Structures are given as structure tokens and as C-alpha cells.
Structure 1
Amino acid sequence: MIRPLLAGVACVALLSACNKEQSPEAVDKAQDMAAAPVGQASAATMGANMVSAYVPNAAMADMYEIQAADIALQRSKNAQVKELATMIKTDHTAASNAMKAMLPQAAPEITPPTGLDERRQGLIDNLRSASAETFDRAYIDQQIAAHNEALTLHRGFSDNESPLAAHARSVVPKIEAHLRQAEQIKGAM
């Protein structure tokens, strides 16, 4: 029930933004706005209890974060944004490697995805197409949404009986730190 409602809200936001401005950046911003509630709903409902849902969502979140950080390191001129991107890339690479190392014992039947889903690929595409003037804002807005989603996913899974629950608990403080820093940067913009 929650997914259709959020999808409807996302579609209204997308249409509203597109009706106000027809520029490609307006459409990208609306897509990014629509992706946030969809991601939150997905993290809350899919990753909370099932290893088979947690692993691909956590792996894909790490992949997205690493790719987005790479783009920010190339495109941003803001030292604070670059510092955040460096921290995100380092921490999400470590988290991804740690989870992959645990999988053979904790969930040998699960193979993590090797590519992004359509929603996250759309976010990456929007970062690539953002103008120099709007890039930092787009990146920071995406990071706030993505880290809120990641917190929902990892906190929801942290009480699971799987050995991977320890991994979920171990990454929460880093994700919280990324989110705080992204919010501080947004406040200064």
C-alpha cells in the first residue's frame, strides 16, 4: 500500500516540476526528488528482515555512493563537497568490501548485483548532466536522500539473526556522519 502512494506522490512532484520548468535540469531535479521517497519505502519494506533483500540493496547503495563520489571528485569545485565525497568513497568502498568478504559464510547463496538499478542509474545520469552551477546542490541533495535511505535499510536489518546484522550495525555510524556533513554543507549553500 505504501509504494503506490509514494509512487503517486513522486509522480505528482515530477509533473509539477516539469510543468513549471521544461529544462532538462528541472526534469533531473524532479526525478531526484521522486527517487527519495521511493528509496525510503523500498529500504523500509524490503531490507528489514530478509538477507536476500538486504544484501542487494546494501551492495547497490554502496555502488551508487562510490560512483556519485567519483563524479563529485571530478566535477565539484567546492572543497567541502570534495572532502565529503572522499570520505564517502573511502567508507562505502570499505563497507562494500567487508560485506562481500562476509557473504561466503553468512549468505553463500546470494550474489550481490554488479550494476545499479534504474533508479540509482538515473541519479548518476542526473549528476553527470548537471550544470557546473547546479552540480554541488544536486550532489548534496542526492546524498542526503541516499544516506537517509541507507540508514533506514541498515537500522532495519541490524536486529536480524543473520551474521550480516553486525555489518549493518557497524556501518550506521559512518552513514550518520556522512548525513550530518551533507546537511551541514547544504545549510551553508
Structure 2
Amino acid sequence: MKNILIVSAASLALLAACNQGDSAGQNAGEAVNATQDAASGVVGQTSATTLGANTIDGFVTGLATGNMYELQSAEIAASKSTNADVKALAAMIEKDHTAAGEKLAAAVPTAAPNVALPTALDERRKGLIDNLNAATPGDFDKVYLTQQVAAHNETLTLLDGFDDNTDAPTLASLARELTPTVMAHRDRAQALLDAMN
């Protein structure tokens, strides 16, 4: 885990350095953003497996933070994408993740009364949002869809790891309920991404 964090920190440092240059720096910055997005997926999967699936706090925090990221990224896609299919996916994600967030917020007070729902994105997901905002119009859809596949894989890992938790049966039930929707989002994003390649 320490090595993954070091790689992520190095990616962030390289990103900052590349963003200070001219157009060659911009191209290098886009490559670094893609590397950062890919590393984020690995970090997210590991975190979902080790923390989220094993603790109530980790599950609630991971699910809530991932949900906030999904809503913010969908909003960006709605405004930046020119692809009707990508816009439709973003609208579906916004609708479904709004409902998921409401269900989580309703379940937490009784299922996990000592756990506070996060109110802001973590640094890793802030970096993903920054990369979406920085993506050029020609690259935006691919960046968004790549992030969506990774983010939904992370959420599926979290949900699958928690769906049989006996310490929080209400949250485990929610995990089972959300899994088909998250899988549908991931599969649609992957299909759209495959059609672009």
C-alpha cells in the first residue's frame, strides 16, 4: 500500500511540473493525468478491498465519497461532452447516484450511528475531478469513460465485499441493492469506451 501511495504522490508531483509548461507541457500533462487516473483506479480497488469491505466506517466513507465523485463528474460530463451517449450515461449516473446517496443517508443514522457521512471529496477523487476539468474537448469523453469504468469497478469491489456483513445488515442489504445499478453503469461506460477505440 505504501508503494502505491508513493507512486500516486510521484504522479501528482509530475502533474504539477508538467502543467507549468507550454503546449509540449500540456501534452505531457495530459499523459500524466491519464497515468494519475489509472493509478487512482488501482489505489481505489485496493482501498475498497482492504478498508471498505472490512469496516462499517470504511464502507460508509467509501460509498459516500464515491457517490459524491460520481455526481460531480456527471455534472462536468453534462456540460463538457458533445456526445449524446456520454451525456445520457451522465444523466443516468446523476439520477441513480442521487437516489443511492439518499438511501445511504437514510440508512446511516440507525445502521451506523457513530459514523459521520463525509461532506467533501478525498484528495484522490479531487485529482480525478481536476483531470476531467483539464481534459481537452477532443479527449474529454475518453477520460470521463475511463474514469467511470475504474470508479464503478472500485464501487463494485466495495459493495461485493460488504454485502454479507452481519454487523450492519441494513448496509449489507443496501450493498446488494446497489450492485446491479453500479454494474449497469460500469458496463455502459465500458461499451461506450470500447466503441471509441
After TM superposition, the score normalised by the length of structure 2 is 0.87
Distance in structure 2 (CA, Å) of the matches to 1:81 and 1:164: 30
- Give the CA RMSD over aligned residues: 2.1
Matches within 5 A, 1:27-176: 27-161=32-166, 162=168, 163-176=170-183
Query: Is the 1:10–1:37 Cα contact (8 Å) retained in structure 2?
Result: no
How many positions carry a matched residue from both structures? 186
Distance in 2 of aligned mates of 1:15 and 1:110: 33
Shift of 1:16: 10
Partners of 2:152 and 2:131 in 1: how far apart?
17
C-alpha separation in 1, matches of 2:32 and 2:81: 21
Residue in 2 aligned with 1:186?
Answer: 193
Q: Would the aligned equivalents of 1:40 and 1:152 in 2 still touch at CA under 8 Å?
A: yes
Structure 2: gaps spanning 5 or more residues: 19-23
Consecutive unaligned residues of structure 1, counting only runs of 5 or more, are none
Say if 2:78 and 2:87, in contact at 8 Å, map to a contact too: yes
Letter in 2 for 1:136: D
**Matching residue of 2:21:** none
User: Quick one: distance in 1 between partners of 2:94 and 2:163?
Assistant: 22
Q: Percent of aligned positions with the same letter in both sequences?
A: 46
Corresponding residue of 2:2: 4
Q: What is the rounded CA distance, in whole Å, between the counterparts of 1:62 and 1:97 in structure 2? A: 10
| Contact 1:11–1:34 (8 Å) recurs in 2 | no
Q: So what's the TM-score if we normalise by structure 1?
A: 0.91
